[in-house]
Each structure stands twice: as C-alpha cells, then as structure tokens.
Amino acid sequence: MANRDLLTKIDRNAAAIRAYRPLSESEIRELDAYYKIGTTYSSNALEGNSLTISETKVLLEDGITVGGKPIRDCYEATGHAKAYDYMLTVARGGELSITEDVIRRLHRLFYHGIDLDAAGQYRTGQVFITGTEYVPPAAGDVPACMAAFVAELPQKQETMHPVEFAAYAHRRLVDIHPFQDGNGRTARLLMNLILINQGYCIVSIPPVWRHDYITALQQAQRKRSPSDEAFVKLIAECELEAQRDYCRMFHIKLPTVQKDGQEL
C-alpha cells in the first residue's frame, strides 16, 4: 500500500477513535500503564536490552528486579518509564512546542541511572553507527545542528502529515546523534510525543522489525538518493497496528473503504 493510502487509512481510523473519546480517568490511567510497559519493553529490546515484556511489567509495577539480568537493563527500563511519563505531560500540555530542553530532558530522565554525568548532555566525542556508511556530525557541530533542528520543526509541522512529521523528527534526531548513547530511545519518545499531541496512537516498533527499522533509516541516511519513504511507511504501519490494538481494547469498529476491489 502506498504511503498516501496508509496515511488516509490512519486518518479514517483516528476519526473513529476520536469519536469514542473522551475516556474516563480510570481508562486513561489503565491505557497509560499499558503503553508504558509496551513501549518501554519494545524500545529497549530494539537496542539489545534482555528484559522480556513480563519482566519489564514486574519491574515497573512491583519494583522487583529479575535475578541474573544486567543491572543496566533494569536502569534502562525504569529510566525509560520516567521519560515516558514526562513525554505524556508535554504531549498533553497544549500546543506543540519542541525545544532542545524538552529533548535533553527526555534523555536525562532515561539515562540518569546509567550515567548521571552524560544524562541530558550533548556528546563531546565522535560516535559511529555500526553497519552503515553514515557518520553523524562532529561533536563540536552538535549544538548548532540541534538548534537548527528545533528551529525547522514548526515549518515542517505545518507542511507534513502528523505521522510523516513524527517520523521525520525521529529520523533527524537520530541523524544528529546528539548524545553519546540512548539516541534511538530518545528519538522514539520524541516521535510519540508528537503523535500523542496530534491525537494519534502511541507507536511501538516490534523488536522483530529491527532489521526493517534499521534498513529504512539507512535508506534515509545514504549519500546517494536518500529517501524517507521506507521509514515513513514503517512508522505508518506501526501506527495502524497501534490503532487496531486500541480499537480492539475498546471494541471500536474501524471503518473500511474499497479501492479497486481491495479493502483499504
């Protein structure tokens, strides 16, 4: 399915979901807890964290660590959960305004249990992304790159579909790679901040899609004919899956449209 058709389907689904709202306070709490566990597990698993989704649930809900698991994996889970809570606060705070401080705080909350000195701080050395020819900017260029990045976001928001915009913000932050570590998780939190603020569902990228996720990013970062098309498509498909899951939980019937004899 072409990206245009995916985005059209997403908007139809979003309209059906919005028609069901507002949710009760208890439903919101339940939904927030559900997504916190799911996004924390999947985002960490994409980066090699060994905690299962059930182990993540026990850690976040009961504070019980799993024997034999690296302590760093536990800190990644608890830190991501704190960053997730902050992300929701910003996303629900009214008109969208993404600043360097918001991005740095997302990273600081996620990373403070792992390396307090590096949490929320731009890197001071060069980083390399394995498996790709792309090289992020030099450390000395990061502040200027980040200032330019947040400055361009309002214009991008005006001209792009919200799902495209969320994918773009994710991809550009990963391009800059402003932190020594934790860039992917910060980028995915930023992406979901945008989606929630614009009335869409939280996206979780399944760990089994890791290869497709990395390949799509590489296509956007290549020197010759870079293209965001595959990455936008992947994020759009994840959004559709999130909408289906949301509607399953609340028994919402999704609209269907036929095109050329096929259901869209």
Q: Which residues are catalytic?
A: 177
> What are phi and psi for residue 137, nearest 5 degrees?
-60, 155
Structure tokens at 144: 């200027």
124: which DSSP letter? Answer: S
Task: Give the number of other CB atoms < 10 A from CB of residue 258.
Answer: 8
CA–CA dist 237, 203 (Å, integer): 9
Structure tokens at 25: 């306070």
Beta strands in the chain (DSSP E): 258-259, 262-263
Task: Give the number of other CB atoms < 10 A from CB of residue 95.
Answer: 5
CA–CA dist 263, 5 (Å, integer): 11
> Which amino acid would we find at residue 254?
L
The SS3 of residue 14 is helix
Q: Strand pairing partners for 263?
A: 258
CA–CA dist 221, 140 (Å, integer): 20
Structure tokens at 122: 């731009």
